[in-house]
Amino acid sequence: RISTILKENGESSNSFEMQFVVYRNYDAPADMLLQTSTWESKPENLRNFMESIKADYGWGNEAIEIGLAHVNKETEKGSVSQVILIGDAPANTKQEVTEKREDLENGLGEDYWKKTKLFSNPTYYEDELAHLKEYSIPVHTFYVDQKAQQNFLQIATITEGRCEKLDINSQRGSSQLTDLVSEEVLRKVGGLKGGVLVEAYRAKFSKSYTS
């Protein structure tokens, strides 16, 4: 859909790439804590990645501080322009980060994490948000459970992103998610024409729904 709108408005359909990131919590081993696709402009490659993923672990609060830890890094072809965060639980507090990394009963223990390549040092979501704000990278947050609303609103507000509820249990959930993601990509890719591209998308694809 994004490529169609870009083509119809005289823009290159390959002017953007997306990467999917799946994050869990410290009861997961390092290779499952953070899983990432490659940067892609072809939707079928992202679909293949997601078909290999299943929900697992969790431990109450999701490890959002891990999910945000690497988004300000440059990619091979440019830099990250925005983040779209979808989740059902708030970020770990600093105390929870420490306790969950040290937990040997339900987790793997701090000695294990210190020996990992990516997670040897603990991260905290507010520190990562400061980096995102410094680089003017907005985080658009979509919570699927009410318990995440306050934290997701905070994340979006700090980075000047948008925050909305995503009803994944309704028939309209898939369409809502598609529209929300597509609009934010077009808004960013289009630059000064972003608003025009969003309106073109809505005219062609969007169905009315209540946020």
Handedness of CA 119, 77, 45, 177 (dihedral sign): positive
Exposed, middle or buried, 68 (CB in 10 Å: 0-12/13-18/19+)? buried
Q: What is the pLDDT of residue 63?
A: 41
Question: For the chain, what is the HEC assignment?
Answer: CHHHHHHHCCCCCCCCCECCEEECCCCCCHHHHEEECCCECCHHHHHHHHHCCCCCCCCCCECHHHHCCCCCCECCCCECCCEEEEECCCECCHHHHHHHHHCCCCCCCHHHHHCCCCCCCCCCHHHHHHHHHHCCCCEEEEECCHHHHHHHHHHHHHCCCCEEECCCCCCCHHHHHHHHHHHHHHHHHCHHHHHHHHHHHHHHCCCCCCC
Determine what percent of the chain is predicted with pLDDT higher than 90. Answer: 53
- pLDDT at residue 207 tops 80: no
Q: How far from chain centre, in Å, is Cα 191?
A: 21
- Kindly indicate whether the domain formed by 12-168 is annotated with CATH number 3.40.50.920: no
Q: What is the pLDDT of residue 78?
A: 54
**pTM for the predicted model, two decimal places:** 0.81
Domain range annotation of the chain: 12-168
pLDDT tens per residue across span 42-82: 889 989 999 998 888 866 544 443 333 333 334 444 578 88
Could you tell me the pLDDT band of residue 195, with boundaries at 50, 70 and 90? very high
pLDDT tens per residue across span 108-142: 999 999 999 999 999 999 999 999 999 899 998 98
- Mean predicted lDDT score pLDDT of the chain: 85
Q: Which amino acid is at 100?
A: K
Closest CA to 98 of 118, 124, 70: 124
